[in-house]
Amino acid sequence: QMQLLESGGGSVQAGGSLRLSCAASGFARRVNSMAWFRQAPGKKREAVAAINTDGTRTNYADSVKGRFTVSRDNAVNTLYLQMNSVKPEDTAMYYCAAVQGDWYTPPLLASVYNYWGQGTQVTVSS
């Protein structure tokens, strides 16, 4: 059974750090592009960051550039999101997404991704 399982969410104070993980399992072939999205209550899902198959290219939403870093370890089929200098507006459910396809610029468009995790909650207090 193909599965993406996020972990690492929690509560943190503004200015702090958090690292999210997403473990991929059950895929017959390696997933290629992977990404993080987030959705706050009453708001649309938005892209956070994306990464290509071998981790050499990344793409970030303007709102997180310079603060968040996406990475992956294909040896353990895991995607990461290092969140630094977090702000209250980063509060959201964070979702991991994957697709068995690759692009020169990792896409930040949700419709591209056909595998999704259940999400992990991040709450930033001021």
Residue 112 has pLDDT above 90, yes or no: yes
Between 20 and 25, residue with greater pLDDT: 20
Query: In the prediction, which pLDDT does 1 show?
Result: 76
Average pLDDT over residues 85-89: 97
Q: Are 84 and 67 in contact (CB under 8 A)?
A: yes
Residue 60 has pLDDT above 80, yes or no: yes
Q: How far apart are CA 17 and CA 35, in angstroms?
A: 19
Residue 104 has pLDDT above 90, yes or no: no
| Structure confidence at residue 73 as a pLDDT band (50, 70, 90) | very high
DSSP 3-state helix, strand, coil percentages of the chain (rounded to 5)? 5, 45, 50
Share of the chain above pLDDT 90, in %: 87
Share of the chain above pLDDT 70, in %: 99
Distances (CA, A) of 70 to 28, 42, 46, 106, 126: 24, 26, 15, 11, 24
Residue 12 has pLDDT above 80, yes or no: yes
Average pLDDT over residues 59-70: 98
